[in-house]
Amino acid sequence: MRVQSVQTANNIKQLYPAPRISFGSNGNSKGLRGLYSYNMPCMYSSTIMIDPQVISKFYKENTFAGPLENVVRNIEPHESNMQIAEKYIFNMIKKGAKTHSQSNLKQFLTRNLKPHYEGILKSKQYSLLDMIDKEALRLPPEAKRKFDKLMNFTIDKIENRQIVIPFYRGEFKMKLEKNLRQIPENYDLADEILKMCEDFPHYKEPGAQEAQANIFQKIKKEIENNISEGKIRNNTELTELLNKSERRINFDPIAETFSNKNFFYDLNTLLADVSDIPLKLKLTGLAQQLPKSSTNFASRIVKLANKSSGQIGIELLQPSAGTIEHIKPKFFGGENSIYNYGLACSRFNSERSCTPLYEHLVKTPNAANNIQQFIDKLIELSKRKILKKLSIPEDYIERLSYTIRKESGGIFIPNLSKLKGYIRG
């Protein structure tokens, strides 16, 4: 039963990847978000989380667009809070700042780091793609034809060649939402624009190109009229998305970056009608081993180098940003209740995704100790009346601990002995 549940959770994460963590409000979590100012450890990693308001301020002011010497000065106070990979990259940036002090982040990564790490990344990618290609020889003729087409597109993307890619509504909407949500004061505008995306027809429908072009121009005008020119210019990902999407609607060739998620989705789609289950599992299993920026250092460097300087700086800090964590995942009916909320850094919140807590504890043994450290910190702040100051319910620690115990299936029972004998706030 446990194995089946783990497989189900893994399948869900592949079909519905964890969204980018939002810094916005979440139910009745306002008091908990006030805890970020008190050196709260992530409940899964024990890393002291960075207050997301600090990161939002950096974003609004485009703090990391300037020379390396200024970037280092602004990031250094948060260095101890950074995740391991990001801290290592930052150390390389600090060394680079000694000889390239006036270069910006993008210039430094593109010129000094990307060429080396891109070679390492391609070597790993091609090694796995060769293995996938050999296994695919056993596919039925029609599936093999689709597979060969997919592989040709994949190689073109890895080599940064220009290709014609149809415009897809879902892909555009997902990427547009990701970019608009990074501009905190424009949440309502984002909702309006995302509704407009629903009107895009499929590119194969009659008259689709003209209809797509008209809707796209309305969306583009709405963005330009409501978001300052400076914010659009500083958000190179948004600018690039709009430029590439317009070209895709017109069926103009573009250079598109290779995406593991897109490849895995396309592979699963063409395998849908293949009856050979072991072959399907073999192919998708190999595809899952392709380097990801979240787990592969070379992939992380290359992905960062493709972003703007301002965004690179944000991405070095964002994995440690504090987020509201559902103890019982929303996917499985978890409530938006403070008693179902813990606090976790963005990276570990995304990594756990919708995995049930007991499975997460089994797969990551250190998580139990880290959750206890989180509880102990809450108890310490309770004694200092900080929880009362933030209007966090008096029974929050006990009821949160009950939720953790219940969702862990009894694998982990938080120790509340330090809480006894104190008036809790």
Question: pLDDT tens digits for 169-183?
Answer: 988 998 888 778 766
pLDDT at 16: 30
For 96-122, write each residue's pLDDT tens digit. 999 999 999 999 999 999 999 999 999
Q: Are strands 254-255 and 162-163 parallel, antiparallel or unpaired?
A: antiparallel
Amino acid letter for position 79: E
Q: Is residue 121 part of a domain?
A: no
Residue scoring higher pLDDT (165 or 12): 165
Residue scoring higher pLDDT (420 or 412): 412
Please state, in angstroms and rounded to a whole number, the distance separating the CA atoms of residues 239 and 365.
43
For 240-259, write each residue's pLDDT tens digit. 899 999 999 999 999 888 99
Number of domain units in the chain: 2
pLDDT at 87: 96
Residue written as token pair 């391991």 = 84
**pTM exceeds 0.85:** no
Last residue of a domain, one of 200, 224, 255: 255
What ranges make up the beta strands (E) of 119-236? Answer: 162-163
What share of the chain in percent tops pLDDT 70?
89
Q: Is residue 412 part of a domain?
A: yes
pLDDT at 238: 86
Last residue of a domain, one of 214, 240, 255: 255
Residue scoring higher pLDDT (188 or 125): 125
Chain mean pLDDT for the chain: 88
pLDDT at 26: 47
pLDDT at 320: 96
pLDDT surpassing 50 at residue 12: no
Structural domain span for residue 223:
169-255
Residue scoring higher pLDDT (235 or 132): 132
Report which of 265, 257, 218 is spatially closest to residue 122, judged by C-alpha positions: 257
Q: Is residue 124 part of a domain?
A: no
Q: Is 259 left (phi over 0), alpha (psi -120 to 50) or beta?
A: beta
Q: Is residue 209 part of a domain?
A: yes
Q: Is residue 116 part of a domain?
A: no
Quickly state the pLDDT bin for 237 (edges 50, 70, 90): confident
Average pLDDT over residues 224-238: 74
Average pLDDT over residues 30-54: 95
Residue scoring higher pLDDT (60 or 213): 213
pLDDT surpassing 90 at residue 385: yes
Quickly state the pLDDT bin for 15 (edges 50, 70, 90): very low
pLDDT surpassing 90 at residue 6: no
What share of the chain in percent tops pLDDT 90?
73
Average pLDDT over residues 344-369: 92
Report which of 292, 282, 352, 300 is spatially closest to residue 323, judged by C-alpha positions: 352
For 141-169, write each residue's pLDDT tens digit. 999 999 999 999 999 999 999 999 899 99
Q: Is residue 306 part of a domain?
A: no
| H/E segment holding residue 48 | none
Please state, in angstroms and rounded to a whole number, the distance separating the CA atoms of residues 68 and 74.
10
What tokens does 234 get? 């500083």
Of the chain, the end-to-end C-alpha distance in Å amounts to 41
Last residue of a domain, one of 231, 255, 279: 255
pLDDT at 23: 39
Average pLDDT over residues 336-357: 93
Report which of 22, 84, 102, 106 is spatially closest to residue 313, judged by C-alpha positions: 106
- Domain co-membership, 333 together with 247: no
Average pLDDT over residues 111-140: 97
Report which of 325, 328, 324 is spatially closest to residue 408, judged by C-alpha positions: 328
Q: Is residue 143 part of a domain?
A: no
Q: Count each helix (H run) and each strand (E run) in the chain, helices first.
A: 22, 4
Q: Is residue 96 part of a domain?
A: no
